[in-house]
Amino acid sequence: EAEVAQSPRYKITEKSQAVAFWCDPISGHATLYWYRQILGQGPELLVQFQDESVVDDSQLPKDRFSAERLKGVDSTLKIQPAELGDSAMYLCASSPGRTGELFFGEGSRLTVL
Amino acid sequence: GQQLNQSPQSMFIQEGEDVSMNCTSSSIFNTWLWYKQDPGEGPVLLIALYKAGELTSNGRLTAQFGITRKDSFLNISASIPSDVGIYFCAGLSTSGTYKYIFGTGTRLKVLA
């Protein structure tokens, strides 16, 4: 069964360091999402791509976060510099289209010390 | 960011009991999704709903798309220990950009 791949699963870093997460969506899925999930809460959208274009990054803290999906396939989410409040699970999801079902990867757990 | 209200927040039930939970919004949605999330893992899709009034089952799980399009319900029949986890709803907002908004979650604990 096709899956959304994410790496790393776990990342521990010190504040002010740079962090990067990678996501490979299900093959053929045009829409890719990055969500942030704080412990005990539901996922919150950071950025949404349609192919290689950003269609929603209204909740992305652009002073420190960046995301790209250069060839419309895999994607990278970067944080620089990391802050203590960035500790969370970063989830990638993909969908065949903007109104289709969302499928999540296993997530990347970030701890900022 | 915006989150949908889920009720109850958490519940303890006995193995074999039926479970009901719901998700409400002030906005109209065109699609509802229900997920289960285990600790340290990503959410797993359980059921997708596309039409108001639609009732869909997946094994012991049944979900309904509310008639008003502002709510959705999930029922689990004859709960078993592996049902433990957090259940999230997600509604597709089509105002502006199409994006899914998630609920606050219902934490389910099953007592054997």
**pLDDT tens readout for residues A51-75:** 999 999 999 999 999 999 988 899 9
The per-residue pLDDT for A60 is 95
Provide the residue-wise pLDDT of chain B in tens; the chain has 112 residues: 678 999 999 999 999 999 999 999 998 999 999 999 999 999 999 999 999 999 999 999 999 999 999 999 999 999 999 999 999 999 998 777 788 999 999 999 988 7
Strand partners, B13: B110
The per-residue pLDDT for B1 is 65
Contact residues of A toward B, CB < 8 A: 4, 6, 33, 35, 40-45, 48, 55-56, 59, 91, 98-99, 101-107, 109
Q: Would the pLDDT of A1 be above 70?
A: no
Percent of chain A whose predicted confidence (pLDDT) is above 90: 90
Do A99 and B3 make contact, defined as CB atoms within 8 angstroms? Answer: no
Among candidates A42, A55, A59 on the partner chain, residue whose Cβ is nearest the Cβ of B88: A42
| Type of residue numbered B36 | K
- Pairing type for strands B10-14 and B106-111 reads parallel
CA distance B91 to B28: 9
Neighbours of A56 (CB within 10 A): 18
Do A44 and B105 make contact, defined as CB atoms within 8 angstroms? Answer: no
